[in-house]
Amino acid sequence: MNKVASVASVLALVGALFAGAPAAVRASGTTHYVGPNAHASGGSCADPDYTVDGTADNVQVQLAFDAASDGDTVHLCAGTYRFADEVWWNNAGLITVEGDSIAASVVDGQD
C-alpha cells in the first residue's frame, strides 16, 4: 500500500517525532543523513548522504526515503528544507523521520 505524505503531514510527523516518540516506535536500521554540507562518503550530519541547497530540497529528501527500508531512519540535519512538492514513502514497513531539534531542522512547505 502506497503512502503519501503532504508537506503538512511531514511537518506533523516531524513535530511528533521531535516531541519524542516511544522507543518501541523508533526505527533501528540504517540512518540516511540529509543536510546542507558537501557530500562525500556520508554517515553523519558533518558528511551527509544527501546534500540540500535550499531549493526543492524535497528531491534529496525523496532520495533518502527511496533508499530507506523497514527499520531505517531519515535524519534531517540542522537547516531549513524547502519543499516544492510532496514526499512519498512507497516501501512497506516503518521508517523514522527525525531532525537535530525542532528549532534546528525546519521543513518549509511555502514557495
Average confidence (pLDDT) per 10 residues, the chain, 111 residues? 39 44 58 80 85 88 93 94 88 90 88 59
User: Cell numbers at residue 39, please?
Assistant: 557530500
pLDDT at 23: 43
pLDDT at 111: 59
pLDDT at 64: 94
In the three-class reduction of DSSP (H, G, I as helix; E, B as strand; rest coil), residue 80 is classed as strand
What stretch of H or E contains 12?
helix 7-18
pLDDT at 39: 57
pLDDT at 68: 94
For the chain, what's the residue count?
111
pTM score of the predicted model: 0.72
pLDDT at 90: 82
Q: Percent helix, strand and coil across the chain, each rounded to 5?
A: 20, 25, 55
